[in-house]
Amino acid sequence: MNIFNQLFGGSQPVDLKPIIEEGAFLVDVRTPAEFSQGNVKGSVNIPLDSLPSQLQKFKDKKNIVVFCRSGNRSGQAKIILEQNGFSNVTNGGTWEEVGQYVK
């Protein structure tokens, strides 16, 4: 996780590797323009502002990893998903952090 989460009381760092290796649903919450400039192989782009209308895409997923450019929007995405009943959500931080575990 990024240093700001560690310094300012964010959640404890999570080991993304086993979650991703188990086939987590990888969701990039950046804008389509940002996504087109570089993304994680196998990830889907569901921008943060459209997340509430796309909740059906998250149903029946064992694990969900959300991520973005800095970890801020993915933190917001995690909250939105948890408020809508999803308890298996991990804030993966940046797309580069998540990408290092994708083969």
Residues marked active site are found at: 68
Q: How far apart (Å, rounded) are the C-alpha atoms in residues 92 and 74?
A: 7
Strand, helix or coil at 72? helix
Torsion angle of C-alpha atoms 65, 69, 73, 78, degrees rounded to 10: 10
